[in-house]
Amino acid sequence: DVHPNRFSDEIDNLIDQGYYGLNVTVPLKELAYKKADRLSDVSKATKAVNTLVFKNGQIFGTNTDPVGFESSLSKNIIENRIKNKKCLVLGAGGSARAIIYALHKMSGKISVYNRTEEKAATLKKEMKINIEILSATEINKQLEEFSFIVNTTSAGLASGQQNDLVDFRNATKNCFVYDLIYKPKETGFMKQAQANGLTTQNGLNMLIGQAAASFYIWHGVSPEVSVDLIQTLASD
């Protein structure tokens, strides 16, 4: 648990102590991006780093969130809900950038909504990906056109909290709804989608997938993901 103002110094301390690398989470991913001496292509595209490696006197930064997200999805969802289909991303922060990068790689047609439209415009400019930026009004006018919706914001974080953004009554019945939040395992956002007959998924498998990818970067070994572990984490 590191205060952002202390981030750079703490990284230097860990290097001095002989650490080889570490994971970084919100709100430190942009700071890790700036701290790195060398960056992977995915980090350059997303302007965020969640995995650091200290080697040969340099700090290497990459971002395993996109591959974690993609690995959390079934082939059926990728082929029938994302590939060449309209996808809606809620939010324009570091997590949204990772999701947009992954959706673009999976040939999704991407629309983005963020409460601050300027932030979404900056994201589009920096990522150089063909993105449609929507207003809150436009979301529900076009909602039936989307076959995949992913929430990267805190909307509906609490289990009983209602989102005031997406009226799932207007969504097509084969729309797949994904929420990056994994605690609680069913957010208010997900429950509202389920109440309208939509299939949902939380971000737990993405969390595990990005961690496994980071482990491979550090150790050159792909860990086996235990179904029992996932079930245990999901019940916490």
Phi, psi angles (nearest 5°) of residue 52: -115, 140
Q: What was the pLDDT predicted at 10?
A: 96
The residue assigned the tokens 């290497």 is 60
- How many Å separate Cα 48 from the centre of its chain? 11
Helices first, then strands: H and E counts in the chain = 11, 10
- The pTM (predicted TM-score) of the whole model is 0.89
By the 8 A CB rule, do 113 and 136 touch? yes
| pLDDT, tens digit, 9 for 90 and up, residues 37-78 | 999 999 999 999 999 999 999 999 999 999 999 999 999 999
Q: Which residues form the catalytic set?
A: 29
| pLDDT, tens digit, 9 for 90 and up, residues 140-156 | 899 999 999 999 987 65
Cα(216)–Cα(213) distance, integer angstroms: 5
Q: What was the pLDDT predicted at 231?
A: 64
- Give strand ranges (E) for 69-147: 86-90, 109-113, 131-133
Positive or negative torsion for Cα 8, 11, 16, 20: negative
- Give strand ranges (E) for the chain: 21-23, 38-39, 51-55, 58-62, 86-90, 109-113, 131-133, 148-151, 176-179, 199-201
Over 60: is that where the pLDDT of 236 sits?
Answer: no
| pLDDT, tens digit, 9 for 90 and up, residues 112-138 | 999 899 999 999 999 999 999 999 899
Mean pLDDT over 182-204 rounds to 92
